[in-house]
A and B are shown apart, each in its own frame.
Chain A
């Protein structure tokens, strides 16, 4: 059986509670979806500027911006990931 294709998650974080919550959700999601590769980057990184992310936490999966300035729930991440796996 082939392994699922890797999924790239860009997580733009700041020194705030929402970023902490998002980090924890991503950690748990990583246990369930081993194909997820989380790349945590600071909000003032070049990548954040390139994406136009103005607020933390920012979440981008496979190049699609799914969250800015608020926590993206596990349910939302799952809904985004699963239809593409079916």
Chain B
């Protein structure tokens, strides 16, 4: 029997391994402390205490009071609760209205917007510039008299670019518009403080920074009008009915505590590893970094590899035990280009040749070196068997300028 290759995981923007301390924090609530936190007996009170502690830990990571945290099942639910909850509240008082968001949001936000459009709200999707950054002025210019909500991600999940949330939130507040921020790729990876950002709602999840999957939270600033999307129970101030996932919440709280404690060191480490990866890759294989190199998180590098089919590269590296990801997706029996890169004006060709490396604090220099070596070797092989004519070309509007480098 052949031994599976040692796995090197460079897909930390998709999810991260739960930290040992997180697992330890969860286990008691799967074993002896299994009670329902709504029960008023001693066992129930112990579970409630764990939920309360976690709420403080989560709030501490964001710089807000614990009572402004609503636990959910993850980033998607938090995003949907924020958008639908705000829209339902609006419908009760002012009828349908206008929402401004960006074209590069996570599908959870885009899907919620589509749903709200089907209910009669209007939605404007602002496009990014060629560096996959939304310009604050473009968002502000899109505000209309009936705009009641703006939703902008803090970090783009595919490219890692940081968006101007604080500037947008300031302008929105002056106009009485609520600001929601999808902070899923930011919390635990960069400093995030809801007061400095000035947002009213902020979504995030635990599993992106060492917490368990199935956990998330929505920060809801005091006074923000929000309605539940799953009515029924009184848990989470009536905004999210249902017995709490106590073990998950305990682990989520611990992950937030650790993330806050280790943030600076983790940023230093992944920044160094990312620079190493980009530098080595630049030497080993012709390519170009997507996004704005200045306005980006330290853990994500999205790279166009010249004339390399990204899906084939990803699948072949996977066979060698290396996990990375591509922005293009399989839909309806064919490969679709990344909607994020497409919105930034890049050709489908650029999209089909782009891969995302996302680094975590547990990665090492040796792992980065190994990934670059394997990626370069496989890229050279794939280039040999696929001519530029077969894979396509940038069109005249594509911001990619790599052809000069290939020649």
Residues of A within 8 A of B (CB): 14, 16, 51-55, 63-70, 73, 75-77, 79-80, 83
Contacts and interface: CB of A to CB of B under 8 A. Distances in A.
Interface in B312-350: 312, 315-316, 318-319, 330, 333-335
Nearest to B391: A70
Contact of A65 (B312, B334, B386, B390): B312
A64 B330 contact: no
A64 B377 CA distance: 12
B40 interface: no
A52 B314 CA distance: 10
Interface string B225-266: 000000000000000000000000000000000000000000
Nearest to B335: A69
B385 A65 contact: no
Given A55-B330, A55-B333, A83-B384, A68 B312 contact: yes
Given A79-B385, A80-B385, A83-B384, A65 B333 contact: no
Interface string B300-314: 000000000001100
A66 B386 CA distance: 9
B381 interface: yes
Contact of B390 (A53, A73, A83): A73
Contacts of B319: 51-52, 63, 65
Contacts of B387: 75-76
16 contacts: A51-B315, A52-B315, A52-B319, A55-B333, A55-B334, A63-B319, A65-B319, A68-B311, A68-B335, A69-B311, A69-B330, A75-B387, A76-B386, A77-B385, A79-B384, A83-B384
Contacts of A54: 330
Contacts of A76: 385-387, 390
A23 to B, nearest CB: 17
Nearest to A67: B312
Contacts of A77: 385
Nearest to A54: B330
Contact of B316 (A65, A69, A79, A80): A65
Nearest to A52: B315
A66 B382 CA distance: 7
B57 to A, nearest CB: 37
A69 B311 CA distance: 10
A65 B381 CA distance: 11
Interface in B327-382: 330, 333-335, 381-382
Contacts of B335: 55, 68-70
A62 to B, nearest CB: 11
Which 3 interchain pairs have the tightest Cβ spacing? A80-B385, A54-B330, A76-B385
A65 B320 CA distance: 12
Nearest to B333: A55
B314 to A, nearest CB: 8
Nearest to B314: A52
A59 to B, nearest CB: 10
A3 to B, nearest CB: 24
Nearest to B334: A69
Contacts of A68: 311-312, 315, 335
A85 to B, nearest CB: 14
Contacts of B312: 65-68
A12 to B, nearest CB: 12
A14 B334 CA distance: 12
Kindly name the residue among B333, B385, B390 whose own CB sees the greatest number of chain A CB atoms within 10 A. B385
Nearest to A50: B319
Nearest to A53: B315
